[in-house]
Amino acid sequence: MKMIYAIIRNDDKDNLVYKLNEKGFSVTTLATTGGFLKQKNVTLLIGTEEEKVDKAIEVIRKACGRRKQMVYHNPSTSGGMNLMNYMPMAAHVDVGGATVFVMDVERFEKI
Ligand code: 2BA
């Protein structure tokens, strides 16, 4: 038996939990905060058999892996009548990412 700790972005939580449940993994989510940036993130606890660990990590990678996302900025209205100030601006930003730890479970019981 193994325990997977996966620290992920809040935005990826619902999709990842859905995908893990769909594949038969039980999940507990904890609301956590990164120690460096002090931003809220989510830590998933996933207890599973050793032979299923790679499958769980594959699901995490697909749902949360680092990727580019297009974001649109609201046009500024503070720059006068210049047309450029009203043009929507688009940019690619990096989103996602997961930090995963896999640990041995000495004993597992449901009482
Ligand atoms: P990541 O390395 O992707 O880490 C994202 C979050 O995962 C971290 O949030 C932390 O909550 C958790 N985490 C990562 N590695 C961990 C570990 N070895 N043990 C326990 N938890 C761990 P934050 O601490 O707020 O860090 C956010 C991002 O800031 C990190 O992204 C990394 O790019 C950067 N960072 C973190 N610590 C740093 C440091 N001491 N110096 C420079 N950059 C740092």
Write down the pLDDT at residue 1. 97
Residue 21 in contact with ligand 1 by CB distance below 6 A: no
Write down the pLDDT at residue 83. 66
What is the CA angle 56-57-58, rounded to 5?
A: 90
Write down the pLDDT at residue 15. 97
Residue nearest to atom 10 of ligand 1 (CA): 34
Continuous segment of H or E residues that includes residue 68 = strand 67-73
- Cα–Cα distances (Å) from 98 to 1, 7, 19, 72, 74, in that order, read 21, 6, 15, 24, 29
Residue 41 in contact with ligand 1 by CB distance below 6 A: yes
Residue stretches of the chain with pLDDT short of 70: 75-86
Residue 80 in contact with ligand 1 by CB distance below 6 A: no
Residue 99 in contact with ligand 1 by CB distance below 6 A: yes
Write down the pLDDT at residue 110. 95
Ligand 1 centroid to residue 6 C-alpha, Å: 12
For residue 67, list its beta bridge partners.
95
Continuous segment of H or E residues that includes residue 62 = helix 53-64
Ligand 1 atom closest to the Cα of residue 7 is 7
Enter the pTM of the model. Answer: 0.85
